[in-house]
Amino acid sequence: MIFKSKWYLAVTLSSLWIFPSSPIQAQISGYDVTFPSAYSLGLSSQGVVSSNSLSSIYGNTAFLTNQTKHILDLSTNVSYANPNFSPFYLSGAGYFSFSESFGFGVRGKPVYLRSFPTDERFSNYTFQAFANWKLNPYITFAIHLGPGVSGRIGGFSSYSWNVSASMAIQYDNFRFGIILESPGTYRYDEYLGSERLKEKLPERALVGIGYKWNDWIDIQLEGSRKFYEFTSVSLNQSNQYIPYPVRTMYSGNLSLALGKIETFQILTGVGREIRMEKSLRGFYTASMGVAGSLFPSLFGEGYLYAVSVQRAGLSVRERDGAETRFALQLQLQF
């Protein structure tokens, strides 16, 4: 997932006019927030308020507390641009429903990725154990903790702890969700072969509200804030920062699911993303997908799937950062 090139895209290092006395020996590529499941990609969603296990197992796992079955899940996604395909990125998870008010599981998923920068790819994965519990019939909580690792030119970083917590509230047809996440700080001892790089990835706060109109229509709205002002890059023990405007750190999406997951669903969503580059850059996404039960007459109940496609960077040329993303997900409930 890492490859070399002659020049390196500047993102988190400040430019020479900001630090005229600090010569830059290397520059760091940017990254995007990921959609770790095909169901979430079809909604252009981060899964903060989705009660469907295809999305919540990689997002707000507090919604899994009402899940009475155990889960095994595998999702993969790939991007196309320029005209090349990115590597296949995998997500996997397992969940054990211990009782009506408690469950636990494990998951591995990408948190930040950059498949098509000008010169350098970036990947950040986390591998977490999580537990969720029900406070009362309406409120549930979850906590997630595990190591993460990043990849850049020269190999992979040291590991860092990724910690996140979430809350879900369900009352009648309304849902409300919150996720707070700290991805950690990562160190490369041989970045570009000889540089020492240390970077702190931005924390995230996500909030969402959902409403189930009837058995066939589900609507959700999400918003997020990335704390890019807390990010930093230390190259050869020299700390450098960029003063990003706060207004550029907000993003969100509007999603719609039509149908029943037990049979067939149509997924669609539009959203706005923020790309971590030299200047924080916002662009729009639109996605569609389908999900449902996988041949229940042949395999029986408990086999679910999702297939989605998303265009990231509407009205933006691929050489300027647009890409098309594809994802496939399979889930077994037993």
> Hunting for tokens 């030299």 — which residue is that?
278
CA–CA separation, 7 vs 175, rounded Å? 47
By the 8 A CB rule, do 50 and 287 touch? no
Alpha helices in the chain (DSSP H): 38-43, 53-56, 296-299
% of residues, the chain, pLDDT over 70: 90
Amino acid at 89: Y
Helix (H, G, I), strand (E, B) or coil at 107: strand
pLDDT-derived band at 13, boundaries 50, 70, 90: very low
Return the structure tokens found at 201: 């990835």
Task: Give the pair of three-digit tokens for residue 298.
Answer: 């042949």
Question: DSSP class of residue 313?
Answer: S
So what's the pLDDT on residue 27?
52
Residue 253 is predicted with a pLDDT of 97
Question: Strand pairing partners for 144?
Answer: 130, 164
Residues 37-47: tens digit of each pLDDT:
999 999 999 99
With 80 as the cut, is the pLDDT of residue 22 above it?
no
Indicate the domain borders of the chain: 32-333
Q: Which CATH architecture has domain 32-333?
A: Beta Barrel (2.40)
Beta-bridge partners for 274: 282
pLDDT in tens, 111-167: 999 988 766 789 999 999 999 999 999 999 999 999 999 998 878 999 999 999 999
Q: Is the pLDDT at 226 greater than 80, yes or no?
A: yes
DSSP state of 277: S
The pLDDT value recorded for residue 18 is 31
